[in-house]
Amino acid sequence: MDSKIRSGHRGFEIHVDSNLDFKTAASRRDFTINSIGYDVIEKKLLDPFYGTDDLKNRTLRAVNLGTFIEDPLRVLRAAQFCARFELKIENQLFLTCKDMVLKNMLDELPKERVFEEIKKLLLKSQNPSYGFKLLKEFGINIYTDNIDVADEIAKQLTSNSQTNLSLMLAALCYNLNQAGTEGFIQKLTNEKELLNSVIQLVRLYSEIDIIYANSMNDYSLYKLASKIDIDKLLILSSSIYFAKNSSKTYKAGEEIYKRAKELDILSKKLPALLGGRDILKFGLAPSEQFSKILHEAYEAQMHGEFKNRDEAMLWLKEYLKKLKL
């Protein structure tokens, strides 16, 4: 048994009682759908708080409103459960959550624990917007006007949870400037790598439409692939498009996907044919100029001036001649 003895998510006193009956133990659970058990000996369902009825009725109900308020994290869990399992929240539970937010009870929660619940809402819901609307109704200020884009992202999730998280967060703040994006993400987490990933997606997502509008060419795609994974950018760009348009066809995305796949740069940049060791073969000592030479070589490769190692070495030889090195 646990009992709340002070504020904070660790402010519980735990007592172990091996003789505790199931109903008493289940009475400490948050929601009735989480209070269902199974007797493996008698092979029967244990449901003292009628959680199965609530499941059938698609309703999220608290086991005990009096003990529910002891853990303010449950407010966030209520929103993400409703979104993940497509449940409607029972009115008294809704009012309790709203009252807990009004009393600033969530202020005692560490940012990390709040973010864990937000991640579940984003990554495990078919329609994250439902959960975010509920959070807004509770009075929690984690909301943007772009939640419909997050719903579109949910239809295109990858096998990488970190990529999905970056895409979801980018969807929520795609139309914010960098300062606004940083402020939104930092309100949720201090993860710098995640922040940088979201900023990059937000900064570059419009490149898909710009490249297509400007008569797409291979150089523009090679250049884009050198900055970011094109397949990730396409997910964000197409989700924004579908959230705004009723059309089921995103021509810019389809054409760029097709050509990037042909060039084998959907999730990686064009491999450089020349490196520092190649410059050394011409008798040059390592210097700061190497980086400039390699940059020019990569630009030339992206422009199609050479397409294999032999052509690359010939290009380098002529380039160094012009530099008189």
pLDDT at residue 11 tops 90: no
* 236-252: pLDDT as tens digits: 999 999 999 999 899 99
* Domain range annotation of the chain: 1-143, 276-323
Summarised one tens digit per residue, pLDDT across range 197-250 is 999 999 999 999 999 999 999 999 999 999 999 999 999 999 999 999 999 899
CATH class name, domain 1-143? mainly alpha
| pLDDT band at residue 324 using 50, 70 and 90 as cut-offs | confident
The rounded mean pLDDT for the chain is 93
Q: What is the pLDDT of residues 173-183, one digit of tens each?
A: 999 999 999 99
3-state helix, strand, coil in the chain (%, to 5): 60, 5, 35
Q: Which pairs from 310-317 meet CB under 8 Å and 24+ separation?
A: 312/273, 312/274, 312/278, 313/274, 313/278, 316/274, 316/278, 316/279, 316/282, 317/282
* Beta strands, E only, 208-266: none
Q: What single letter denotes the amino acid at residue 32?
A: T
Beta bridge partners of 240: none
Radius of gyration of the chain, Cα coordinates, nearest whole angstrom:
27
Residue range 130-158: mean pLDDT, rounded: 95
pLDDT tens per residue across span 20-59: 899 998 999 999 999 999 999 999 999 999 999 999 999 9
- Count CB neighbours of 284 within 10 A: 15
